[in-house]
């Protein structure tokens, strides 16, 4: 299965829908607001003057938000439509940023730089068949003593949605619409075929350790900063909970590490 081309086509279509959606709220970003959630903002600090690689950056809102904080950013994404929009946004906002159209694995083979920080977040790793390879890309692109940071949806939510918790080499192939649920979507026309893999929390951690990343912190959060799953309850502003038997389940985890 040519998962790269299948997913690239899907994300090229999604980039068009997402850019105009209220979910991403590009006008707010253009007005000067940050797209970073409270989780990344609290845990990924002191980026000023640091070189930062953002893997799977979509059309660059988080990348450019980090640039506004003083980071020297490079964003990488599979979708050429998304990268084109990221470049347009950088130009429109007069932000110095580099964007590269490449999948995660092939980028590492062509990269000529090492970075102070490698960053990834929210809905990224499910598109990758091998976290061993992913973690090695992170390590290869980090300077010695550099920081890796990720914030990601918790795999427990995937189980509730009917997906496996533990990794299977055989992917899940789904046909679905965008989580942004914009007014332009219909039940049939805007659905895309997409290829994903499950990754448990232990798999993520062990892949990073094997690649030479010292784990400094692992945190779990009982909410999502995005209202992107079904039947979520907003207990506080931008904190959406999934309630199972009266209790909030973990919806996000974060990991911070250092290259040994």
pLDDT digits (tens, 9 = 90+) for 130-179: 999 999 999 999 999 999 999 999 999 999 888 999 999 999 998 987 88
Q: Which of 91-95, 111-115, 187-191 has the highest mean pLDDT?
A: 91-95
**Crossing angle of the two packed helices 131-140 and 201-210, in degrees rounded to 10:** 40
Q: Hey, how many other C-beta atoms are within 10 angstroms of the C-beta on 6?
A: 16
Residue 188 vs residue 3, higher pLDDT: 3
Whether 184 shows a pLDDT value over 70: the answer reads no
Q: Is 175 in contact with 193 (CB distance < 8 Å)?
A: yes
Residue 150, CA distances (Å) to 119, 143, 182, 217 in order: 6, 17, 27, 11
Q: Tell me: the pLDDT tens digits for 22-41?
A: 999 999 999 999 999 999 99
Residue 238 parent element (H or E)? none
Pairwise CA distance, residues 142 & 259, whole Å: 7
Q: Is 153 in contact with 240 (CB distance < 8 Å)?
A: no
Residue-level pLDDT at 182: 44
CA angle 33, 56, 16 (to 5 degrees): 65
pTM for this entry:
0.94
Pairwise CA distance, residues 207 & 38, whole Å: 26
Architecture label for domain 3-153+198-222+253-259: 3-Layer(aba) Sandwich (3.40)
What DSSP character marks residue 127? G
**For residue 139, what are the β-bridge partners?**
none
Q: Length of the chain in residues, anyone?
A: 260
Report residue 191 as tokens.
Answer: 């659905």
Residue-level pLDDT at 111: 80
Residue-level pLDDT at 189: 56
């Amino acid at each position: 299965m040519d998962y790269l081309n299948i997913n690239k086509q899907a994300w090229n279509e999604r980039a068009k829908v997402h850019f105009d959606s209220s979910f991403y709220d590009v006008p707010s970003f253009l007005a000067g607001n940050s797209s970073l959630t409270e989780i990344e903002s609290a845990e990924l600090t002191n980026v000023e003057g640091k070189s930062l690689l953002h893997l799977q950056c979509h059309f660059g809102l988080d990348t450019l938000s980090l640039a506004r904080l003083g980071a020297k950013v490079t964003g990488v994404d599979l979708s050429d439509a998304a990268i084109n929009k990221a470049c347009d946004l950088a130009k429109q906002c007069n932000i110095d940023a580099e964007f590269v159209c490449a999948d995660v694995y092939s980028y590492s083979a062509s990269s000529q730089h090492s970075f102070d920080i490698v960053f990834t977040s929210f809905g990224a790793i499910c598109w990758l068949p091998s976290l061993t390879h992913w973690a090695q890309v992170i390590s290869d692109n980090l300077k010695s003593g550099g920081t890796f940071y990720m914030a990601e949806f918790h795999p427990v939510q995937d189980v509730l949605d009917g997906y496996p918790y533990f990794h299977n080499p055989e992917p899940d192939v789904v046909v679905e619409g965008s989580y942004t649920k914009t007014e332009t979507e219909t039940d049939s026309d805007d659905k895309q075929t997409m290829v994903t893999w499950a990754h448990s929390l232990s798999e993520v951690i062990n892949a990073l350790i094997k690649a030479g990343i010292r784990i400094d912190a692992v945190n779990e959060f009982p909410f999502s900063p995005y209202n992107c799953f079904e039947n979520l309850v907003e207990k506080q502003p931008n904190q959406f909970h999934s309630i199972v038997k009266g209790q909030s389940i973990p919806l996000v985890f974060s990991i911070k590490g250092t290259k040994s």
